[in-house]
Structures are given as C-alpha cells and as structure tokens.
Amino acid sequence: MASLLRISHVLKKHKALYLLMLPGILYYLIFKYAPMYGIIIAFQDYSIGRGILGSKFVGLKHFIEFFYVTPDAWKLIRNTMMLNIYDLVFHFPAPILLAILFHELKGKWFKRIVQNISYLPHFLSTVVIAGILVTFLSPTTGVVNHFLVQILGMEPIMFLGIPEWFRTVYVGSEMWQKVGWGTILYLAAISGIDPMLYEAAKMDGASRLQQMRHITFIGMIPIMIILFVLTLGHFMEASFEKILLIYNTMNYETSDVINTFVYRRGILNADFSFATAVGLFQSVIGFMLVVLANRIVRKHSETSLW
Amino acid sequence: MNRQESWGSKLFDVCNILFMLVLIMVMVYPILYVFSASISNNAMVASGAVLLWPKDITFIAYEKLIYNPDLWMSYWNTIRYAIVHTVLTLIVTSAMAYPLAKRWLPGRRIILMLAAFTLLFNGGMIPTFIIVQKLQLLNSIWAIVLPSLISTWYLFIMRTFFEGLPEELEDAAAIDGCGTIQILIRVVLPLSLPVMATIGLFTAVNQWNAFFNALIYLQERDMYPLQIMLRNILIAGANVQGEGDMTYLETLKYAMIIIATVPILCVYPFIQKYFVQGTMVGGIKG
C-alpha cells in the first residue's frame, strides 16, 4: 500500500511529464509489445474469429511441421544464412576500407564530391533499386547484357533466372547502395583520432601504409565492434524487402529466405499461426546471435553494445 | 613539411584518385543511364543502342505518364502519407524524448529499457499484421503511419540532444511561471531545430521510399503510394498504356523511376549535411 501511495504521489508531482510520454508509451505497447504477446499464436491453431484467447493450443505442432514436413525448410535456412554470410564477408569490410581511402585523399573539394556522390544511392528506394536491377539485368533489353553482347561478344546471361547468380546480384547491389553511406560513422571515428599520433608516427619513419594500419584502422575498431554486433542483430533478416522484389520462381533455389516464406504463407495465404512460428524461429536465432556477440565482445574489449 | 614525399606515397595518391574516379563512375552510371533511357526512343533502348547518352531524344514516355491519373493519385498519396507521418513522428517522439532526458525522473530507466529491447527483439511480421487488422486500420492512412510512428533510434538521438541543452534556461522559464509543456514548446523545441530537421527529413524520406507496409496493409488502388505503383510497373509488369500496347514499354519504366526519384534528388544536395550529422549523433551516442 505504501509503495502504491508513493507511486501515485510521484505520478501527481510530475503529471505533465508522464502525460507527455503517454502517446509514445502507448505506441510501444500497441505496436511493439502487443505483437510480442501475439507470438502466442505460434503455439495455437489461431483463427481470427476465435482470437488469441479462444484458439486451440497445439504446442510445437507448427515448428515440427516446418522442420519435418515442409520440404523447403532446410533450403530457406541455408539461403538466409548464406546471403547474410556473403553480406558480412563482402559488405561489412567495404566501408572500412573506403573510409581509409577517403581519409587519405588530399584535395579537400575532390574528397567532398566523391563522398557526396557515394552517399547518393542510399537515398534511392528499395523499389527503385530492385527496378533498376530487374531492367538492367534483363537478358533481352537490359543494358548489362547489351554490354556483354556488343562489347565483350558474349552470350546474354539471364542473371535473375539462374540461381547461381542471385547471391552475387544481391550482395553487389547491397554494396553499391550502402558502401558510401556506411563510411560516415568510420569517418567520424577517424576525425576523432589525435593528429599528434600521425605526427609522431611520421617522426618515427612510419610509412603511409603503416600509418593507415596502425593509427587509422586501430582508431576505427570501437565503432567496428558496435556495428558488427548490430549487424549480427539483423543477421537473419537480410534485406528482405529487396529480395521480395527481385526474386522469382526461377531463382527460388538460392533466393527464397525465411522472411519471404513467412510473407507468402502468412500474408498471402493467411496461414497466421504457421507463419508466426517460422518467423519466431528466425527472431530467436537473431536475438541469440546478438546477445552472444555482445557477450564475447564485452569479454575481450572495452566496447560493447550494452 | 618540407620533407620530400616518397615515391611510393605519391604512387599511392595517384592510385587512390584513380580508384575514386572509377567509384564515381560506378555510382553515377546507373542513375545517368536511367535518365538517358527515359528520354530516348524506346526501340533504341530495347535493342541496346543506348549505352550512356540518350539517342533520338523524345519525352513521349513522360507524356504518357503525365496523363495517367493513377500516377497523380499515388503521388498525392505519398505526399499525404509523408507529411502526416513526419508531423506526428516529430510531435510524439519529442514529447516522449523530453521527459526521458530528465535524469531524475522516476521510471525513466524502465521506459528506456523497454524501448531499447524492441531494437533486439520484436513480434515479427504476422503478429504486427494481426494487431493492425484487429484495430481495423487496414486500408487507411493509419496503417501506413502508426505502426512505424516512433523509431527507437530517433527517440534516442532526440533524448541525447535534449540532455545536452543547458538546464538553466528551463529553470529560468519555470521561475517565470511556465509549465512543463510551455517550457517544451517555447524553450526546448526552438533550440532543437537542427535535430528536429534531421529526424523530420529522415522520416519523410523513409516514408517516401517505403513500400512494404503499403503492400501488406493497403488493398485499394486509390490508396496506393508511388512506390507500389512503381513496383507494379517495374517488377510486376503492369502496363500503364493499357492491354497489349508495348510501344513505350522500356522507356516508360525508366521515366517512372525518374519521376519517383526526382524529388529526392532535388532536395538531396541541400539536406545531405543534416543526414550526415544525424547519423553521427545517432551512431556515437545512441
């Protein structure tokens, strides 16, 4: 009772502040926490009519169905992992290298122009990027194949019709769109490096390459760690919206990921419980990855996400 | 700095500049090509005669699109969604961030943790869809605006900004008899224009470019935003000219990309500095 009185006293004292927060808190409760509660339907045979409280509890039925009955389960998991591993291997280091090269540029205006141009693709919408990919890569009318045929004398390649090409197309376009924008945080980290360090290194006869490695690169490590942990947090998600736009039945073999499957089963077929179960499997893996990564990072360095 | 630069160092500079020139070409070429193709003769684009510069210049594709009522409808929808979303986001986010910037406020930590947790874990696509459906928001502007009303990153950026404002100003206003909400509106917000501009621009551009929520929450044609229209033409292969007429098929696609992107390209030079600042604030302190 005493604590309740205390709470009501605090609420009254700062009434205006709590009222200000109210719409925001409601937003989080309704659109973030209510869906978390809604995960229960992954363990039910949910029907809209009966609702969450009235639907029948079926335990792990949908998970078992996914892992043992769905013929594509393994393919979906593999594709999700592979696309993200490719992305991590090629796309994660790219902005780090580019930031170092930006930093080494001497002409101030040239540097600014290159940077601004490299940021530009970030502002194009996913639909525009996907549209550019689909039209440019078309085997009959696309400009990429015009180049291959006219200038290199090759046969046209059906990039989006061949499963082997999908990962390259996906990661390549991710890099094209995001590498420039990705340098911003690294450049901020570089600008925080004490210039005296470079002077001292020059005095000691360090070469440009050595300075890049031992000063610039080292100076970026904290932000690298944070971005790495954050990347792992989205590890299972991939750029699912882009995949949804550029994949097709011909390249499902490598392009179909967990999220696109959830979309088809859940939204298109209204198979809510099953799709929620599959989605939950994915979010749990993603959550465990980021917690694990953060724990490892915290053990071995001073930087960590929390 | 009179010391002669070594030969290797100079070579590195030259290579670096060459690399940057290649980078510029790679970044600009697709955009330039889209523009060239949009004002070229359709047959030349389809057959590959257009590789960089426009050939047989014509604006017929734009003309076809301009007389398409669906395009203007979707344009208006996008503008409508972006404005409502941005205004509401700024109001709700700043109203929530301001109390959270008061370190002494009881309960602040719990609310921050609840917000931060949503960055790591969420209910997922289907449970969120069901909530929107239950609230009967489907097929309305609110299905587009409300589910992404607050971005936790922006909330944290704004809170960090508010924390940095001098407390003396607020104290002075309080002594003058201003209430909490008056202080927020008259003292804090006018000082926060940079962060408000950044977050407002981010929200507007994100909404301009968004398509997935519209894809799952909107069913009626006259509610479609630009990006859905764009998707239908570019990817699903819908024909804006009516059945069977393929005369301008290719150039129409490119013209459509340009029409949907021009607003972003026009404002980009003026606003990119805000974006860069915003990303840095969020990244370093968020």
Structural domains of chain A, with CATH: 2-57 (no CATH), 71-300 (1.10.3720.10)
Spatial separation of the C-alpha atoms in residues B42 and A139, rounded to whole Å:
16
A41 contacts B211? CB cut-off 8 A: no
Indicate if the pLDDT at residue B243 is higher than 60: no
Spatial separation of the C-alpha atoms in residues A169 and A158, rounded to whole Å:
12
A101 contacts B20? CB cut-off 8 A: yes
Positive or negative: CA dihedral B163, B168, B173, B178: positive
Q: Which of B37, B45, B92 sits opposite A23 (nearest CB)?
A: B92
Q: Return the top range by mean pLDDT from A150-154, A200-204, B81-85, B113-117.
A: B81-85
What is the pLDDT averaged over residues B165-172? 84
ipTM: 0.88
- Answer for the pair B39, B248: CB distance below 8 angstroms, yes or no: no
Residue-level pLDDT at B21? 95
Give the gap in angstroms from C-alpha A77 to the nearest C-alpha of chain B. Answer: 17
Spatial separation of the C-alpha atoms in residues B269 and B267, rounded to whole Å:
6
Lowest mean pLDDT among A132-136, B2-6, B198-202: B2-6
Residues in chain A within 8 Å Cβ distance of B13: 104, 106
B280 contacts A184? CB cut-off 8 A: yes
A119 contacts B20? CB cut-off 8 A: no
What is the pLDDT averaged over residues B160-175? 85
Residue-level pLDDT at B58? 87
What is the pLDDT averaged over residues B115-126? 90
Spatial separation of the C-alpha atoms in residues B123 and A38, rounded to whole Å:
7
Residue-level pLDDT at A1? 64
Residues in chain B within 8 Å Cβ distance of A24: 92-93, 95-96, 150, 155
Indicate if the pLDDT at residue B100 is higher than 60: yes
Q: How many cross-chain Cβ pairs, A to B, lie less than 8 Å apart?
A: 260
Residue-level pLDDT at B223? 93
Q: How many residues does chain A have?
A: 306
Q: How many residues does chain B have?
A: 286
Residue-level pLDDT at A7? 80
A185 contacts B283? CB cut-off 8 A: yes
Q: Cα–Cα–Cα angle for B89, B91, B97, nearest 5°?
A: 90
Q: Which chain A residues in 273-302 lie under 8 Å from chain B, judged by CB atoms?
A: 275-276, 279-280, 282-283, 287, 290-291
Give the gap in angstroms from C-alpha A76 to the nearest C-alpha of chain B. Answer: 17
Tell me which of B6, B126, B199, B256 to substitute to probe the interface with A (most A C-beta atoms closer than 10 Å): B126
CATH number, span B69-239 = 1.10.3720.10
Spatial separation of the C-alpha atoms in residues B188 and B26, rounded to whole Å:
44
Structure tokens belonging to residue A275: 């799709």
What would you report as the CA-atom Rg of chain A, rounded to the nearest whole angstrom? 25
- Answer for the pair A196, A219: CB distance below 8 angstroms, yes or no: no
Name the residue in chain B with its Cα closest to that of A227.
B283
> With bands split at pLDDT 50, 70 and 90, how would you rate the model's confidence at B1?
very low
> With bands split at pLDDT 50, 70 and 90, how would you rate the model's confidence at B279?
low
Neighbouring C-beta atoms of residue B139, cutoff 10 Å: 12
Residue-level pLDDT at B31? 92
Please report where in the chains the tokens 């921050």 appear, as a residue: B112
Residue A44: helix, strand or coil by DSSP? strand
DSSP chain B: --SPPPHHHHHHHHHHHHHHHHHHHHHHHHHHHHHHHHTS-HHHHHHT--SSS-SS---HHHHHHHT-HHHHHHHHHHHHHHHHHHHHHHHHHHHHHHHHT-TT-TTHHHHHHHHHHHHH----HHHHHHHHHHTT-TTSHHHHHGGGS--HHHHHHHHHHHHTS-HHHHHHHHHTT--HHHHIIIIIHHHTHHHHHHHHHHHHHHHHH--HHHHHH---GGG--HHHHHHHHHTS---TT-TT--TTHHHHHHHHHHHHHHHHHHHHHHHHHHHHHHHHHHHHH-
Q: Which chain A residues in 138-157 lie under 8 Å from chain B, judged by CB atoms?
A: 140-141, 143, 145-147, 149-150
Looking at residue A256, what DSSP letter applies?
Answer: -
Give the gap in angstroms from C-alpha A170 to the nearest C-alpha of chain B. Answer: 16
Spatial separation of the C-alpha atoms in residues B231 and A131, rounded to whole Å:
7
Residues in chain B within 8 Å Cβ distance of A133: none
Residues in chain A within 8 Å Cβ distance of B48: 141, 143, 145-146, 149-150
B125 contacts A118? CB cut-off 8 A: no
pLDDT in tens, B23-36: 999 999 999 999 99
Residue A45: helix, strand or coil by DSSP? strand
Cα-based distances in Å from B110 to B67, B116, B164: 54, 10, 21
Residue A303: helix, strand or coil by DSSP? coil
Instruction: Classify burial at A197, counting beta carbons within 10 Å of its beta carbon; exposed 0-12, middle 13-18, buried 19 or more.
Output: middle
Return the axis-axis angle of helices B193-209 and B249-285, rounded to nearest 10°.
Answer: 150
Neighbouring C-beta atoms of residue A273, cutoff 10 Å: 24
Indicate if the pLDDT at residue B70 is higher than 80: yes
Name the residue in chain A with its Cα closest to that of B272.
A116
What is the pLDDT averaged over residues B72-80? 93
Residues in chain A within 8 Å Cβ distance of B125: 259, 262-263, 266-267, 275, 279
- Using the Cβ of A8 and the Cβ atoms of chain B, whether some distance falls under 8 Å is answered with no
Neighbouring C-beta atoms of residue B186, cutoff 10 Å: 12
- Using the Cβ of A249 and the Cβ atoms of chain B, whether some distance falls under 8 Å is answered with no
* Tally: H helices and E strands in chain A: 18, 2
Residue-level pLDDT at A101? 94
Spatial separation of the C-alpha atoms in residues B274 and A165, rounded to whole Å:
37
* Confidence (pTM): 0.89
Name the residue in chain B with its Cα closest to that of A233.
B120
Q: Which residues of chain A have pLDDT under 70?
A: 1
Give the DSSP H/E element, type plus range, for residue A57: strand A56-57
Spatial separation of the C-alpha atoms in residues A171 and A164, rounded to whole Å:
13
Amino acid, res. B232: N
> With bands split at pLDDT 50, 70 and 90, how would you rate the model's confidence at B119?
confident
> With bands split at pLDDT 50, 70 and 90, how would you rate the model's confidence at B9?
confident
- Answer for the pair A214, A206: CB distance below 8 angstroms, yes or no: yes
Cα-based distances in Å from B100 to A18, B67, B106, B112, B192: 10, 50, 10, 8, 15
Spatial separation of the C-alpha atoms in residues A224 and B46, rounded to whole Å:
44
> With bands split at pLDDT 50, 70 and 90, how would you rate the model's confidence at B286?
very low
Residue-level pLDDT at B278? 63
- In chain B, domain spans: 69-239
- Using the Cβ of A33 and the Cβ atoms of chain B, whether some distance falls under 8 Å is answered with yes
Indicate if the pLDDT at residue B246 is higher than 70: no
Residues in chain A within 8 Å Cβ distance of B20: 101, 105, 110, 114
